[in-house]
Homo-oligomer: A and B are copies of this chain.
């Protein structure tokens, strides 16, 4: 009881052996197995005692009296925290990643799509990524295009991000008003989405002609892009892998997972909540309401452009996951994606 935070060395060894064996086989694991596997030089009876204690402390559980042990979410957590930091990738994986990033693709969105699929192939789970938001991207173009009864507002960011919106053209806005606003729209090039938005509102105030409304419309599109419902989206790939994993998922939890995967805004929120900045982060089952509901775990890593963290990439899989190789793969791919994003930055 007193040893909650720190686990006696041997207990930890036993716990980790249980996690590894269970992840590998999917079967509850017994004391005998551990006695052989982890060369501790003690008998299975001793292991049994340790296991009972570990169960007492909430790291292991028992499907029924005479079955082996299964790690709890807390057990996985302890295992993950104790994992040696960076591990080498398997050569085959290393090669796959290298090949995948062999020829530079310049559109970050494309890079992420590809990377998400790569991750899903490497890990056999489903890949996820959150692309950079527009908030601190610089505008390279901002236009209002006259399409007859409608207007198309087009904003292009420095990384090739394109936000567009079609709106009904208000009666009083004529071709003249649009071309009148053109200069003003050009003036905000090179500033960020947020700065541009402020600048446009400012200009609109000083400009009481027809161009006034055009500027307001453009500002509104920028606002929608940076915070509105369509602000962010999530790139997802390899969900087919989730239907496999023989028997691991219960049908109903799987369904809930799929439902959420389709709701981008919700998914985005979840990913923001589970990601800690810095290195790879792991969220296991009950540690977050959503992953708890799915019986799943999420492994993510931030990726950077220059020094700034601009997005997140990772995977979702069952709590019974090969965390070590998942973390290694995610870390490696995040690194490569960072390189790509940094390069695109110039």
Contacts and interface: CB of A to CB of B under 8 A. Distances in A.
B238 A262 contact: yes
Contact of A154 (B149, B156, B261): B156
Q: How would you classify the secondary structure of chain A's contact residues: helix, strand, loop or mixed?
A: mixed
One complex includes copies of this chain to the number of 2
A317 to B, nearest CB: 15
Interface stretch (A174-182, A250-258, A322-330): A250-258
Given A152-B156, A166-B160, A255 B262 contact: no
A255 B237 contact: no
B152 A145 contact: no
Contacts of A165: 107
Given A156-B154, A160-B166, A162-B164, A148 B346 contact: yes
A243 B239 contact: no
Contacts of A246: 251
Contact of A258 (B141, B143, B240, B259): B240
A106 interface: yes
Given A240-B259, A262-B239, A152 B160 contact: yes
Given A140-B152, A145-B140, A145-B141, A167 B106 contact: yes
Given A238-B262, A239-B262, A255-B243, A147 B152 contact: no
A290 interface: no
A191 interface: no
Contacts of A237: 262
A49 interface: no
A148 B237 CA distance: 32
**Chain A interface bracket (under 10, 10 to 19, 20 to 34, 35 or more):** 35 or more
Nearest to A238: B262
A251 B245 CA distance: 10
Most buried by B among A158, A246, A262, A344: A262
A32 interface: no
Contacts of A164: 107, 156, 160, 162
Contact of A255 (B156, B240, B261): B240
Contacts of A244: 251, 255
Nearest to A120: B262
A168 interface: yes
A150 interface: yes
A183 B244 CA distance: 55
Contacts of A147: 140, 158
A162 B160 contact: no
Contacts of A141: 143, 145, 154
B243 A243 contact: yes
15 contacts: A106-B167, A141-B143, A141-B154, A145-B156, A147-B158, A149-B346, A150-B344, A154-B162, A160-B166, A162-B162, A237-B262, A240-B259, A240-B262, A243-B251, A244-B255
- Give me the 10 closest cross-chain CB pairs, A-B, nearest first: A240-B258, A106-B166, A240-B259, A243-B255, A160-B166, A107-B166, A243-B254, A162-B162, A148-B346, A240-B255
